[in-house]
Amino acid sequence: MQTQSWMGCHVPLITPFKDDFSIDETGLRKLVNYYIEDVKCDGLVPCGTTGESPTLDKNEHHRVIQIVVDETAGRVPVMAGTGSNSTKEAIEMTKRAEDAGALASLQVCPYYNRPTQDGLFKHFETIAKSTNLPIFIYNIPSRTGRLIEAKTMISLAQIDNVIGMKDACGDLMITMEIIRATRENKKKFYVLCGEDALTYPMMALGGDGGILAVSHIIGKEYREMIHLFLKGKIDEAQQIHYQMLPVVKALFIENNPVPVKEALAMIGLPSGKLRLPLVPLRPENREALRKILIQYNIVN
């Protein structure tokens, strides 16, 4: 298993599409280099929620991961989103990501079929046993319709290659319960925030950073905030947290990744089309987003 550190600010990459809705491979490579060289991100996460993974077919899914791994060329770790509500499909995608050279897998909570907590445990356990990759479990009940309860996550953390979670459950009581319990583990269990506005509070509770959609636009600021906190410079990190909150709010004015893709287009980075059923920002929300980005000198 990898001994890679997963602390810090990770970018859950969008998938840029051309006008014909095919993958913009050149644009994707440009984004990889931008976030590594300019933003100095600590890691990249292709094929997550922000990457519109539900609209990617299996071959596209694999192609995006392969491009990101190849273009990254070992400069930062790549955690590939390979989750599914089908355990069999998740295993297949995870094995392909492992073969492609990803260093970890992000496994979303099974959606739509709403398994019990026992079913959730068995799902993730079966995936973990199928691969040598470190596994991060993604808890986001607002999208999946099912919460991974603290007791279940704590049990999953006992599995050798389940080494962390992306926490977007929105309940800091649950987060605290998991952090308290997993601190007693012999291995490190990473807690990465997936609810962007809660990154600072979650780090104050013992978190390790985040996988953050807003890092597409304010990645330098969020990376600095996280690393200041990790260095014990709590007040300086808090200042950035409060300073950036209006931008974070604007970047979630509609469901992710719609505002993020719009903001990327505004600053001249590859973003491209949204695949249905996602549609562009409503005009009034686009204007509100643009005003905030101008106010913060992110766009002219």
Q: pLDDT tens for residues 44-59? A: 999 999 999 999 999 9
Cis status of the peptide bond prior to 257, with omega within 30 of 0: yes
Q: Find out whether 293 and 250 touch, Cβ atoms under 8 Å.
A: yes
Tens of pLDDT, residue by residue over 56-99, are 999 999 999 999 999 999 999 999 999 999 999 999 999 999 99
Cα(264)–Cα(53) distance, integer angstroms: 18
| Options 35, 138, 190, 222, the catalytic residue | 138
Cα-to-chain-centroid distance, residue 136: 10
CB 204 within 8 A of CB 179: no
Confidence of residue 185 (pLDDT cuts 50, 70, 90): confident
Write out the H or E segment, with its range, that includes residue 32. helix 25-33
Average the pLDDT over 210-217 and give the result. 98
Model confidence band, residue 184 (pLDDT cutoffs 50, 70, 90): confident
Structure confidence by residue, pLDDT tens digits, 245-272 = 999 999 999 999 999 999 999 999 999 9
The average confidence (pLDDT) of the chain is 97
The reported pTM is 0.96
Tell me: pLDDT of 280 over 60.
Answer: yes
Residue 187 CB neighbours (<10 A): 12
Angle between helical axes of 258-266 and 215-230 (0-180°, round to 10): 100
pLDDT of amino acid 2: 47
Indicate if 138 belongs to the active site.
Answer: yes
Any residues with CB less than 8 A from the CB of 69 and at least 6 apart, and which?
78, 80, 100, 101, 102
pLDDT band at 287 (very low <50, low <70, confident <90, very high): very high
**Residue 236: pLDDT band by 50, 70, 90 thresholds?**
very high
C-alpha to C-alpha distances, 108 to 127, 145, 150, 186, 270, nearest whole angstrom: 12, 12, 15, 25, 26
Residue 5 · residue 259 · CB < 8 Å: no
Give the integer Cα–Cα distance in Å for 188 and 258.
34
Which structural domains are found in the chain, ordered by start? 8-231 (3.20.20.70)
- Choose the catalytic residue: 166, 200, 222, 261: 166
Q: For the chain, what percent of residues have pLDDT higher than 70?
A: 99
Burial track 12-51 (b if 16+ CB lie within 10 A, e otherwise): bbbbbbeeeeebbeebbbebbebbbeebebbbbbbbbbbb
What's the longest Cα–Cα distance across the chain? 52
- Neighbour-count burial of 242, counting CB atoms closer than 10 A to its CB (0-12 exposed, 13-18 middle, 19+ buried): exposed
